Every structure is written in structure tokens, then in C-alpha cells.
């Protein structure tokens, strides 16, 4: 059975994942408004993935006999001075989410909660991928996105993400 501490941390993580979805939806709106449909699509896919992460944690709590308690989701309050800014903000956000997952994993390790550690293993791997894809997108933008033609090509490439 999950301890109150671990259950509380997982409940908080659901809110963080839901906020992530909200944040990425905001970023998708920024790019859609700018006419960058590929960037908007990439962040829309990202938002859906974050919702899936929240539901995965929700399901784990239910499987462990815990009723999830949902918290309020804050509105994103980001201003983007240029098209690179959301990319950098997303990367920094992913690093914070990674730290949160790592903290839950450490707490589960401290409590010898093997099931939760095993469950969180997927999230640990997922966060490595999330950080890498965010970092790669910044690198691609820095290499190609500064010019109109490069931005067009990168935007076209990002439309392909499903």
C-alpha cells in the first residue's frame, strides 16, 4: 500500500502534468496565432502526451486503492518575446518536471516502495526523452529557424509529428 507521502506526491504530480498540458496548449496557441502550424501541432501533441501522463498516474493511484485528489491548475502566465522563447521555456519546464519525478522516485526508494519505483521507471525514461526532444528542437531552431526559409522548413518538419 502506498504511504500518504507517496500518494500525496503522486497527486501533486497529476496537477503538474495537467499544468504541463495547459502550458503546451498555450504555446501551441502562440504558434498557431503566428501562423506556424507545424510548431503549433508539435506543442498540441505534447499537450496530449502530458494529459496521458496525468491519467497514467491517476490510474496507478486507483490501482493502489487510493482515490486521486485533483488540485487546481494555474493558468500559464508566459509572454513570448520571440519564436524561440516558448522552446526555451518548454525545455526549462521539462527539467522541472524531471526533478519532480526524481523526487518521487527518491521518496519511493527511501520507503522501499518497489511497485512505485517500478511504475516511475517509465516516467524516468520518458523525461529523458522529453528533455532530449526539447533540447533538440532548440538546437534545430538555432541552426535553421533564424531565417525565413529555415523557419518554414522546420515548421513543415514539425507538422509530421503525430
**Average pLDDT over every residue of 145-162:** 89
Residue 120: all three cell numbers together: 516511475
- Return the pLDDT at 161: 80
- Return the pLDDT at 78: 87
Q: How many domains does the chain contain in total?
A: 1
pLDDT, tens only, 67-87? 999 999 999 998 999 999 999
- Return the pLDDT at 136: 97
- Return the pLDDT at 52: 98
Any idea what the CATH number is for the domain that residue 148 is in? 1.20.1260.10
146 has a pLDDT exceeding 90:
no
pLDDT, tens only, 84-134? 999 999 999 999 999 999 999 999 999 999 999 999 999 999 999 999 999
- Return the pLDDT at 147: 86
Percent residues over pLDDT 90 in the chain = 92
162 has a pLDDT exceeding 80:
no
- Taking alpha carbons only, the member of 108, 96, 100, 98 closest to residue 6 is 108
User: Domain limits at 25?
Assistant: 4-158
- Return the pLDDT at 145: 86
- Return the pLDDT at 1: 83
Name the pLDDT band for 48 (thresholds 50, 70, 90).
very high
Amino acid at each position: 500500500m502506498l504511504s500518504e507521502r507517496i500518494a500525496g506526491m503522486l497527486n501533486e504530480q497529476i496537477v503538474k502534468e495537467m499544468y504541463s498540458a495547459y502550458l503546451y496548449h498555450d504555446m501551441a496557441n502562440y504558434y498557431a496565432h503566428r501562423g506556424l502550424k507545424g510548431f503549433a501541432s508539435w506543442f498540441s501533441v505534447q499537450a496530449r502526451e502530458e494529459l496521458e501522463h496525468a491519467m497514467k498516474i491517476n490510474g496507478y493511484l486507483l490501482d493502489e486503492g487510493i482515490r486521486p485528489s485533483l488540485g487546481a491548475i494555474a493558468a500559464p502566465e508566459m509572454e513570448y518575446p520571440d519564436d524561440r522563447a516558448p522552446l526555451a521555456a518548454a525545455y526549462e519546464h521539462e527539467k522541472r518536471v524531471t526533478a519532480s519525478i526524481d523526487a518521487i522516485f527518491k521518496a519511493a526508494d527511501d520507503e522501499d516502495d518497489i511497485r512505485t519505483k517500478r511504475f516511475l521507471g517509465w516516467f524516468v525514461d520518458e523525461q529523458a526523452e522529453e528533455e532530449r526532444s526539447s533540447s533538440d528542437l532548440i538546437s534545430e531552431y538555432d541552426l535553421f529557424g533564424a531565417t525565413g526559409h529555415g523557419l518554414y522548413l522546420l515548421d513543415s518538419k514539425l507538422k509530421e509529428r503525430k
